[in-house]
Amino acid sequence: MGGRHGEGGESAQAKVREKYRQLKKALQAEFKALCAAARDGRPPRPEQVESFLALAEMAAADESSVSGAGLETYRVANREFLEDCRAVRAARRDPGALAAVLERLERRKAECHATFK
């Protein structure tokens, strides 16, 4: 009986990890679309920006991969991440400002992944 409970827990954890992985893939796809718009010197479509922000908020809300002493650092990093994500909305019509925000997000992603992977 104990084995089944453990297996179910592992299966549930695997489902949570897979759901988060899919969320990150969708977020990355939206980020690439924003980068392409900036590279082309055109503003991204409003629905692209809003989709990116919604996905970013979902990703930042997920704390399932971190616990203990690293959790507060993770929360701070997520708050900073969301600030930059929201800056995309403000910079949307200015290709230079948008490119700068996207570069900041790219650096933040690299730093976060180096810290929390």
Q: How far apart are CA 59 and CA 113, in angstroms?
A: 13
Q: When comparing pLDDT for 71 and 79, which is higher?
A: 79
How confident is the model over 19-69, as pLDDT tens digits?
889 999 999 999 999 999 999 999 999 999 999 999 999 988 887 777 777
Residues 6+ apart with CB under 8 A from 38: 44, 95, 98, 99, 102
Query: The pTM is what?
Result: 0.82
Ordered by start, the domain boundaries in the chain are 2-116
Choosing among 3.40.50.300, 1.20.1070.10, 1.20.120.10, 3.80.10.10, the CATH entry for 2-116 is 1.20.120.10
Q: How far apart are CA 8 and CA 14, in angstroms?
A: 10
Q: Which region holds residue 62: left if phi is over 0, alpha if psi is between -120 and 50, else beta?
A: beta
